[in-house]
Amino acid sequence: MKTSSIMLGLLTLLLLICVQPTAAMPLQAECEISGVITKDTTWGPESCDPYLVTGNIRINPGATLTILPGATVRFDSYIQLEVAGTLIARGTPDAVITFTVLKSDTPVLWSGILFQDSSTDAKFDQQANYISGSILQYIIIEKAIQNAVRIEQSTPYIDHATFQNSNPNPGTILVVKSQDGLFQITNSIFQNNGGTLSVQDCDERFVQPGILSVEAESAAIVNNQFLQNCASNIISLTSRNESIVSNNSIINNRSIALINVESPINSVIVSGNILSNNRSYIGLLGEGNVAFHMNTIEKNTLFEGIYDQPEFYALFAEETGGDLSTPVDAKDNYWGVTKSSDIEKIIYRGLC
């Protein structure tokens, strides 16, 4: 009987514990930040939510800023994050990192992220897995002006990034100028950028300079999506060594050229890309040693109002030096039409 009473008492105590209301987790306060980062620093949603950047931020050489998954960083008008050291911004599929404007209703946007020459390049193992260095992964960058990201003579790694709702006038959403090493951007999305913030309202008489512009020693632009942007070029690449533009989807944009590639020395392979339902002048524009393989170019229409061109060209191949005798390397592409006479109408070859 005594044992039963003890057991009953324990059960009653356990029930009382279980039904007690739990205290709500306190909300993290917002933090205002600006200035120079001179030592290793970590930002995370457990510390501040959001981070309010009211003055320019600079990461000095030798210092690392690590931004944890789920963090939100809001920038005041014309404010920039300058990376002269190392920036590690690695979110997750369920907890992305967001870089955006301070006030959602402001007409004046922030000035993006600048990677300087002294910033730490990304490093990879022999299986092409990221090891160290500057990285933007599982992040959102939105509502920037001029350049959402500008890379000067450095090679951070960009993967699973979303660039959206930015106005690059007079710049480019993502611009890369690096003559050393391999620049890689993979699995990323560019959507609703350029001019006004929707393709439907894009002024046909004036388009912004570009969405992704890369001038690099070599580059890998792989498995990205470009959706509803307005710009002169959607992808622009100038490369001195072997590079690839592969498995990208370019859908429902307005532009002059969808993919514009120049390679004066070594080969660039443009393969497996889908160019569909765009309004443009040119699908694939190539100058120099460029190969076009297994691309799909279909359901595109002429972007009227800028140039006097009779129709949309699926391929526009330019040659330097006055030699048109070498065949263009364009194998196994689907041009949206099947008759030879129709294919000939949408392929142009000339001298530049």
Please write the tens of the pLDDT for every residue from 234-261.
999 999 899 999 999 999 998 889 999 9
pLDDT tens-digit series, residues 21-42: 444 445 568 999 999 999 999 9
Average pLDDT over residues 5-9: 47
pLDDT for residue 118 is more than 70: yes
For every residue of 222-286, DSSP letters joined together read: ES-EEES-B-SEEEEEEESS-EEEES-EEES-B-SEEEEEEEEEEEEEEES-EEES-EESEEEEE
Coil, strand or helix at 143: coil
pLDDT at residue 97 is higher than 70? yes
Give rounded-to-5 percent helix, strand, coil for the chain: 10, 50, 40
Identity of the highest mean pLDDT range in 70-84, 164-178, 181-195? 70-84
> Cβ distance 157 to 183 under 8 Å?
no
Mean pLDDT on 202-207? 53
Predicted pLDDT at 334? 96
Average pLDDT over residues 161-176: 86
Residue 91 pLDDT = 98
In Å, how far are 11, 15, 28 from 44, measured between CA atoms?
A: 41, 37, 10
Interatomic CA distance for residues 43 and 52, integer angstroms:
12
Per-residue pLDDT at 336 exceeds 50: yes
| DSSP secondary structure, 101-117, as one string | ESSTT-SS-B--EEE-T
> Mean pLDDT score of the chain, rounded to an integer?
86
Mean pLDDT value across residues 316-323? 65
User: Which pLDDT value is given to residue 200?
Assistant: 53
Angstrom distance (rounded) from CA 127 to CA 99: 30
CA 162 – CA 98 distance, rounded (Å): 9
Residue 113 tokens, joined = 């992220």
* pLDDT one-digit tens code per residue, 255-264: 889 999 998 8
Range of weakest confidence among 11-20, 58-67, 171-180, 264-273: 11-20
The phi and psi torsions of 287 (rounded to 5 degrees) equal: -135, 125
Q: What is the 3-state secondary structure (H, E, C) of 162-180?
A: EEECCECCCCEEEEEEEEE
Q: Distances in Å between the alpha carbon of 183 and those of 159, 174, 175, 210, 235?
A: 11, 12, 11, 18, 14
Taking Cα atoms as reference points, which of 219, 224, 220 lies closest to residue 240? 219
**Between 107 and 38, whose confidence is greater?**
38
User: Structure pTM?
Assistant: 0.88
Rounded Cα gap, residues 140 and 69, in angstroms: 12
- More confident: 5 or 253: 253
Contact 166, 143 (CB under 8 A): yes
Distance separating alpha carbons of residues 182 and 323, to the nearest angstrom: 31
